Amino acid sequence: MPRATALKSKKAFATNGDTYAPSSVTMISAPKNLEEEIRIRAYLLYEQEGRQEGRDEEYWLRAESQILEQHGQHRS
């Protein structure tokens, strides 16, 4: 996953409110901008769905849609 793998995974508890099993939890610091927020969400989707390779664009687009909706914006 080119866009989301820049994050470093640490065993801790998630900061986005999702519930994970202790072995699959990632601690992520607060995002600094919209792109970073999307990257974090895409990575969490990747982890939630069993780290399936080759779906990076799908995860990115889903994350982008979710984050923009959360901010009351739409994809341009």
Is the pLDDT at 6 greater than 60? The verdict is no
Give the burial class of 55: count Cβ atoms within 10 A of its Cβ; 0-12 exposed, 13-18 middle, 19 or more buried. Answer: middle
Q: What is the pTM of this model?
A: 0.58
Write out pLDDT tens, residues 8-23. Answer: 443 333 444 554 444 5
- Tell me the domain boundaries of the chain: 1-76
- pLDDT at residue 55 in the model: 96
Pick left, alpha or beta for residue 66 (phi over 0 → left; psi -120 to 50 → alpha; otherwise beta).
alpha
- pLDDT at residue 73 in the model: 80
- pLDDT at residue 74 in the model: 72
Cα–Cα dist 64/38, whole Å: 5
Half-sphere exposure of 27 (CA within 13 A, CB side): 5
Write out pLDDT tens, residues 30-64. Answer: 668 899 999 999 999 999 999 999 999 999 999 99
